[in-house]
Every structure is written in structure tokens, then in C-alpha cells.
Amino acid sequence: MRVIVTGALGHIGSALIRQLPVFFDRPEILMVDNLSTQRYCSLFDLPAKGQYEFIQEDVRKTDWDKILPEADCLVHLAAITDAAGTADKPELVRDNNLGGTTAVTSACLKHDIPMIFPSSTSVYGSQNSLVDETCTELCPQSPYAESKIAEEILIKDFVTKGLKACICRFGTIYGKSVGMRFHTAVNKFCWQAVMGQPITVWRTAMDQKRPYLALSDACKALTHIIKGNLFGGSVYNIVTENHTVREVVETIQSFIPNLTAEYVDHKIMNQLSYEVSANKFKNTGFAFTGSLKKGIEETVKLLRNARA
């Protein structure tokens, strides 16, 4: 098995490249990342059971004709992912994310290589009920989510031309990895709580439900797609559970009792609560086993000696 992972040094990629040898026998793993987020540490101590090769390159400039033909599949994780931090930078996000996905998808179509694209449940934006993949009223709240929709449309168009692809709408990831980042809700709150900073909750968000995904479930889901050959062009919501911010904060509080919260405004926050159903993916035979409590516990433990 030869798998190409773009964005391999990121939060999800650094876990996936370590999990692939658990699910496949001595896989060849070709990792492409431009190091824009400087996660050198993601390449530390890779397990001997994997056969690794790293290419430091922008996916928009990679010579795909050279490296794709030998691959069995490609997992396209490379993207600018700080949705809040890039709220004022739509061109940057579009050039990098849609530009990268266009390059990768065109090459996968040309060489007939199946690909997995991680979209995001943030494409649903403001909804007021339980949503599934049939929802057509997408309400993206950021350039990041807008770009995800444009990338999904591009991939669906390529599927009509013969591309083998799977589009996953991931919930917000929690859980530790070597290359983890702390922009997203659960990880950011854990960081703030450990550091003795107030947890910054968007003013409207405390009792809003949002979809979350354990990193362990994300890696398991990606291998489930590869093993089950789920490359028929479908969209799947990949969500361990929906939680309110209050549930997240109270779970952190069970490990750090004296945390405080501060309400803040942000231009990409919205008023509505929504829940995302992952039944379609569960119906492919997948069981979510991650837990918010476990993810928070391991993240807090990682940082336990960071502040006396």
C-alpha cells in the first residue's frame, strides 16, 4: 500500500502518518507539506513499521506526474486552516486551498488515483436543526468555509469526469497529536485553562451545539474509507458527537476546577445552534469510539507541567 498524504505535518496528518502502519502492513507513506506552519516536530520518531518519504513542497507546485502514478490513494490534508485568523484574508485562503485542491484533484483524475478530501462541517454554518448531507442551504461563515464549498463543487464536477473521490465533512477535531494546533475550540480552551487564562467563549456560543470529531475517529475514518473503497464521490459527515460549548467547558473544568470564562465577539460567530448527523457514514459500518472527556484529559495532561 502506497499512500500520499498532503499536509502530512499538520494536526491530523501527524496522527494519520503514525496510524497508517497500524492499519496497513508496512505501508509506503509519501508526505508532502510546505512547512508553512513549521511543524518540523511531526517528523520526529516516526515508527519503523512505516516506510516514509518527505517532500517539502507546495502542493500547487508539486510534480504530480512524477509521484502520483505509483500511489494507491491520496489523502489531501494540505490547507490553511485557521478560520478565525484568516477571516480578513479571503484571497490568501482561496489561492492556497482552492488552488491546492485544483492541482491535486486534476492530477488524481489524470492518473486515476482515488483521493480523500477533508471538508468541514463549518460549510453548514448557521442552521437551526439537525442537518445531514442532503442539506442544500449551506451558510458558510468564513473564507475558510467558503473555500471548502468551492473545493467540494470542484471535486463533484471532477467526479462526473471519472475522478474517484470521497468528501468528508469533519467536525472540529480534538485530541492530541505530535503536530497539533491550538486554534480550534476544544484545544484552544484546554490551552487557556492550563495557562490560567480566561477561556474566550464567543458571546453567542455557550449553549450552541456544534459537531466535534475525536482525532482517533478521524484517522480510523480515513482508513475505513481506504479499506472500504468508498470512492464513489459521496459526501459524508464525520462527527463523533455534537456538544454545547458549556459541555466542553464543564469537561475541562472537571480537570481544571478554577478556570474562568470571558465572553468575546468575533466577526465569524453566528447566532444559531446546529447539530450534524453522521448516520450516513455509520451506515457504511463505521463506529465512532472517541470521547470528549478522554481527548480533553490527554490534552490537559500534555501540558500539565507547563505552568506551576
Ligand X SMILES: NC(=O)c1ccc[n+]([C@@H]2O[C@H](COP(=O)([O-])OP(=O)(O)OC[C@H]3O[C@@H](n4cnc5c(N)ncnc54)[C@H](O)[C@@H]3O)[C@@H](O)[C@H]2O)c1
**Where along the sequence are the contacts to ligand X (CB under 6 A)?**
6-7, 9-13, 32-37, 39, 58-60, 77-81, 96, 100, 118, 120, 170, 172-173, 181, 184
Rounded Cα distance between 279 and 282, Å, is 5
Closer of 11 and 164 to ligand X (Cβ): 11
At residue 175, what are phi and psi to the nearest 5 degrees?
115, 155
Nearer to ligand X, 21 or 295 (CB): 295
How many whole angstroms from its chain centre is CA 268? 19
Nearer to ligand X, 184 or 208 (CB): 184
* Least Cβ distance, residue 197 to ligand X (angstroms): 21
| Of residues 36 and 229, the one with the C-beta less far from ligand X | 36
H-helix or E-strand containing 157? helix 143-160
Whole-number minimum distance, CB 94 to ligand X, in Å? Answer: 12
Report the residue number, 57 or 260, with the smaller CB distance to ligand X: 57
157: cell is 464536477
Dump the DSSP string for 190-256: HHHHHTTPPEEEETT-TT-EEEEEEHHHHHHHHHHHHHHT--EEEEEEE-SEEEEHHHHHHHHHTTS
Give the chain's length. 308
Residues 237 and 278 sit within 8 Å (Cβ to Cβ): yes
Q: How far is the CB of 258 from ligand X (least distance, A)?
A: 27
CB of residue 161 to ligand X, shortest distance in Å: 22
Minimum CB separation of residue 74 from ligand X in Å reads: 13
- For residues 94 and 150, is the Cβ–Cβ distance under 8 A? yes
* Minimum gap (Å) between residue 213 Cβ and ligand X: 7
Which lies closer to ligand X via its Cβ, residue 96 or residue 273?
96
